[in-house]
């Protein structure tokens, strides 16, 4: 995974230590399916830094407490302090000590229940020499698309990294899983993409993009992308809408 800022080396090291420990724990490895920006970056599907660990929880709902206990024991063994956590779900903010880094907290999150349309597969993560079950590329791309609107509906916030990620997936020819979009939104792909296009046109600004991406990309890449990202991602979405029109 790319490291734009040397000060983030410790944060990256902690991401990898936690992932190694989860992969080496038979129960957690069978229960937590890896996803999100860190997963994509480590697999070479994305060219930016990522600071959180996101999973889908694949276990039974009645075993959530068991999973939480196992995760908290793992964090304790690693020497991480739980700064905050969800009372009911699986979400932790972990504190580590690093004098040279502006980051002090690392978020670990697991979503549930699983979407029936999501597809997972075991993948080897070369940087930690471990195998983890993770979302396929098509499943991840679809969830990334939906996340832009979903994040705004839930928190009234927009993450520039979400815009960057779908731009990267589109421009590199990735295919998205239409079934995931349908299950999560109730819309077919064209209807959803029209809504997404209108949202980006109306809500996404260069300021929003810059605030989120400036620490996640190398400076030269950030300078290149932040002014053109909105225009290019809109163009890519419009092209996809036209392609879907021709399929009908």
CATH code: domain of residue 75: 3.10.450.620
Residues 125-148 have pLDDT tens digits of: 999 999 999 999 999 999 999 999
Is position 1 within any domain? Answer: no
User: What pTM value is reported for the model?
Assistant: 0.93
pLDDT at 101 over 70: no
Domain match, 177 and 221 both:
yes
- Let me know whether 186 and 211 are in one domain: yes
Placement of tokens 């979302």 in the chain: 135
Among 134, 161, 128, 131, which residue's Cα sits nearest to residue 13? 128
120 shares its domain with 144: no
Q: Return the beta strands (E) in 58-154 as ranges.
A: 81-85, 90-95, 105-111, 120-125, 130-135
Domain count, the chain: 2
Pairing status of strand 105-111 against strand 53-57:
parallel
Between CA 166 and CA 46 the distance in angstroms is 10
Strands 130-135 and 120-125 come out as antiparallel
| Residue after which a domain boundary falls, among 111, 135, 159 | 135
Angstrom distance (rounded) from CA 224 to CA 213: 12
What is the tens place of the pLDDT at every residue in 161-196?
Answer: 999 999 999 999 999 999 999 999 999 999 999 999
Kindly indicate the confidence band of residue 102, based on its pLDDT and cuts at 50, 70 and 90.
low
Q: pLDDT (tens digit, 9 = 90+) per residue, 37-46?
A: 999 999 999 9
**Per-residue pLDDT at 5:** 81
Q: How confident is the model at residue 104, as a pLDDT?
A: 83
pLDDT grade for 4, boundaries at 50, 70 and 90: confident
Residues 90 and 198 in one domain: no
CA 216, CA 103: separation in Å to the nearest integer? 13
Is the same domain home to 169 and 116?
Answer: no
Assess whether 98 and 122 both reside in one domain. Answer: yes
Q: How far apart are the first and last CA of the chain?
A: 39
| Same-domain check for residues 117 and 210 | no
CA distances from 60 to 21, 113, 184, 201, 223 (A): 21, 9, 20, 40, 45
- Domain coverage including residue 90: 6-135
Of 109, 135, 161, which residue constitutes the final position of a domain?
135
Mean pLDDT along residues 29-42: 97
In the DSSP assignment, the letter for residue 128 is: T
Same domain, 189 and 240: yes
């Amino acid at each position: 995974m790319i490291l734009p800022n040397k000060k983030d080396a410790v944060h990256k090291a902690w991401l990898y230590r936690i992932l190694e420990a989860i992969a080496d724990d038979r129960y957690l490895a069978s229960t937590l399916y890896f996803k999100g920006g860190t997963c994509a970056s480590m697999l070479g599907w994305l060219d930016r830094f990522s600071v959180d660990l996101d999973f889908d929880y694949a276990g039974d709902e009645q075993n959530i407490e068991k999973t939480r206990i196992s995760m908290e024991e793992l964090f304790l063994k690693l020497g991480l302090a739980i700064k905050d956590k969800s009372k009911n779900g699986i979400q932790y903010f972990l504190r580590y000590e690093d004098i040279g880094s502006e980051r002090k907290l690392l978020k670990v999150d697991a979503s549930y229940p699983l979407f029936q349309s999501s597809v997972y597969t075991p993948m080897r993560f070369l940087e930690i020499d471990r195998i983890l079950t993770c979302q396929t590329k098509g499943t991840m791309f679809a969830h990334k698309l939906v996340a832009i609107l979903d994040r705004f509906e839930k928190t009234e916030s927009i993450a520039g990294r979400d815009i960057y990620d779908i731009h990267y997936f589109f421009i590199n020819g990735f295919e998205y899983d239409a079934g995931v979009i349908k299950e999560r939104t109730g819309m077919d792909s064209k209807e959803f993409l029209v809504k997404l296009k209108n949202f980006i046109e109306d809500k996404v600004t260069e300021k929003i993009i810059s605030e989120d991406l400036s620490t996640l990309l190398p400076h030269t890449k950030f300078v290149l992308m932040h002014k053109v990202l909105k225009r290019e991602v809109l163009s890519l979405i419009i092209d996809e809408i036209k392609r879907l029109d021709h399929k009908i």
